[in-house]
Amino acid sequence: MIKRNKHLLIVAAVVVIIVSLLLYSTRPKPVLVMVETAEMGSVEETAVNTRAGTVKACRRSQMSAAMGGQIAALYIKEGDEVKQGDVLLELWNDDLRAEAGLARSEAKAAEARAESVCVQADISEINAKRKTDLRKTQAISEELVDQAVATAKSLRADCVAAQTSAIVSNERIAVAEALLERTRLTAPFDGIAVEVNGEVGEYVTPSPPGIPTLPAVDIVDHSCFYVAVPIDEVDAPKIKHGMPARISLDAFKDRRFPSTVRRIADYVLDLEKQARTVDIEVIFDNPEDMADMLPGYSADAEVILSVRENTLRVPTETIVDKHQVYVFHADDESLELRDIKTGLSNWDWTEITSGLKPGEQVVITINRKGVEDGAFAKLDTTEDK
């Protein structure tokens, strides 16, 4: 009897082992998941752009010649640094130079004539005064006195006219020099010449009204940049001048740049087949962040509307259909699709108001094949998510 019971126990143990092996061999392959722990921290409510924005220079001048002409001198090339007031380009202007020189010569002649006439007027007035004094002693006739006074007045009038003519001649110099200045392009501020169109000997013309043409010289101030982005009209009323923001760029994927809202457009942009948006501008807070910036980079801006501190949060990428998360249970290595309620949210974090507890693990890799409620799962220890 005892031997029989031992045999039965052995058989039972073998059956249990076989069944266990069969169950283990037929168990579904676990899905590998990566998780993050629900934790306490701060969550911000943000407004983000609907389409990619653009990095722009605070000062950029795409300059064209004020008048048509042949390029006589080109003092810069692309990439050169320029200072405010530097002459960048000069058109052929020998005729205008000659006119300016002629105007200066005429002005000198007019000033000399005015000086001569005024000296004569001074002498004539002195002579008239002497004759007036002599008339008091009856030494000369009244007629001679009247002639002397009339001559003095006439010469004084000629003096005033000559002085006025000299002023006009000097103003002609200003006109001639202004015309001469129209043949030069000068830098309006310190910057870098990022584009130069034209060579010495080529003919350039100013842009006709309403018809854009290539600038002769394009100068960019590399000391100041901002980002212009479109914001959905729904979010626009929440944004105020001076609000903090963050800038992210494809060119600097791992960096976020602190910034501030500096301008909100005064109208809603209505483009066909696109949502209505309001353009805003955010400027970099730290000058050192602009050191490697280039105008034209694509950029996104995240305006911080409000902040909630010390609240339960999870990465936003773990949220499923706006109100669910996959919770990983380490004890039985299973996944649970759980309903949650959320509060503030941004690209990085979402506030959890109910449905989760601090320390619970939620799945980040929610789009992997096999991630579903009740699935058998194991932690993926690789670094890439």
Residue 237 has φ and ψ, to the nearest 5°, of -60, -20
Residue 20 has pLDDT above 70, yes or no: no
Contact 121, 159 (CB under 8 A): yes
Question: What confidence tens digit (pLDDT) does each residue in 94-121 have?
Answer: 898 999 899 999 989 989 998 998 999 8
Lowest mean pLDDT among 56-60, 146-150, 306-310: 146-150
Token pair, residue 198, equals 């034209």
CA distances from 301 to 248, 257, 279 (A): 6, 9, 11
At what angle are helices 94-136 and 142-181 packed, to 10 degrees? Answer: 160
Separation between Cα atoms, residue 180 and residue 10, nearest integer Å: 113
Angstrom distance (rounded) from CA 327 to CA 148: 117
pLDDT of residue 232: 92
- Indicate the SS3 state at residue 79: coil
pLDDT score of 329: 94
Q: What is the mean pLDDT of the chain?
A: 87
- Average of pLDDT values for 115-134? 86
Mean pLDDT of 335-351: 91
- DSSP 3-state of 114: helix
The whole-angstrom separation of Cα 303 and Cα 282 is 9
Per DSSP, the residues of 127-161 read HHHHHHHHHHTTSS-HHHHHHHHHHHHHHHHHHHH
Coil vs helix vs strand at 90: strand
Q: How far is CA 331 from CA 32, 75, 105, 356, in A?
A: 16, 75, 101, 17
Residue 82 has pLDDT above 90, yes or no: yes
**Residue 7 clears pLDDT 70, i.e. is over it:** no
Give the residue, 56 or 10, on which the prediction is more confident. 56
Distance CA 60, CA 224 (A): 10
Q: What is the largest CA-CA distance in the chain?
A: 181
CA atoms of 366 and 316, how far apart (whole Å): 11
Query: Residues 141-157: pLDDT tens digits?
Result: 888 877 888 888 988 89
Rg over CA atoms, the chain: 43
385 confidence band (pLDDT: 50, 70, 90): very low
**What pLDDT was estimated at residue 66?**
84
In tens, the pLDDT along 154-182 reads 888 989 998 999 999 889 999 999 889 88
pLDDT for position 363: 95
Select from 3.30.300.180, 3.30.70.270, 2.40.30.170, 3.40.50.720 the CATH code of 53-57+222-306: 2.40.30.170
The CATH number of 31-43+308-379 is 2.40.420.20
pLDDT band at 80 (very low <50, low <70, confident <90, very high): very high
* Vertex 76: Cα angle to 84 and 224 (nearest 5): 45
Instruction: Give burial (CB, 10 Å; 0-12/13-18/19+) of 18.
Output: exposed
pTM: 0.65
3-state secondary structure of 107: helix
Q: Does residue 203 surpass a pLDDT of 60?
A: yes
Domain limits of the chain? 31-43+308-379, 53-57+222-306, 61-84+192-219, 94-181
pLDDT at 14: 63
